[in-house]
Amino acid sequence: MTQAAVNSAKVLYRLSVSREDVEKAEKLFFMTPQLQKVLTSPVVPEAKKYEIIDQVFALQTDLGLLYYAGEAVEADYAEAAKWLRKAAEQGDTGAQTLTGNLYIAGNGVKQDFAEA
């Protein structure tokens, strides 16, 4: 685990992120069709669209870190890999590093050096 991941997990833990908050964030990602409608709506200001996108990407990384470190939720590398990979695919370099670490170690995913 990188020092950045440890630091982020500690901050989230100190903020007392509850399991309910994690579950709420998770539900947000299952509402993707509604998000798509908002993001493609000509009525929603462009600045608001970017704000929503930034929040969604940050939540993906946060969820991945919580599952990765086992803070506020039980450690689950498969769940961590799922959320970190989503963030990594959106260009989050920290999530890319952590996802690579999971593939190198084979934690939560099949070990795959090429994918890492």
pLDDT tens digits for 38-62? 777 888 888 887 787 777 777 888 8
Q: Could you give the percent of the chain with pLDDT greater than 70?
A: 72
Q: What is the mean pLDDT of the chain?
A: 78
Which is it for the CA torsion 37, 91, 12, 74, positive or negative? positive
pLDDT value at position 103? 92
pLDDT value at position 44? 84
**How far, in Å, are 64, 80, 82, 103 from residue 114 at the CA level?**
21, 19, 18, 9
Average pLDDT on 90-96 reads 86
Higher pLDDT, 113 or 116: 113
**How far, in Å, are 4, 26, 114 from residue 106 at the CA level?**
20, 24, 12
Q: How far apart are CA 44 and CA 67, in angstroms?
A: 33
Q: Could you give the percent of the chain with pLDDT greater than 90?
A: 9
Ranges 3-7, 69-73, 80-84: which has the least confidence? 3-7
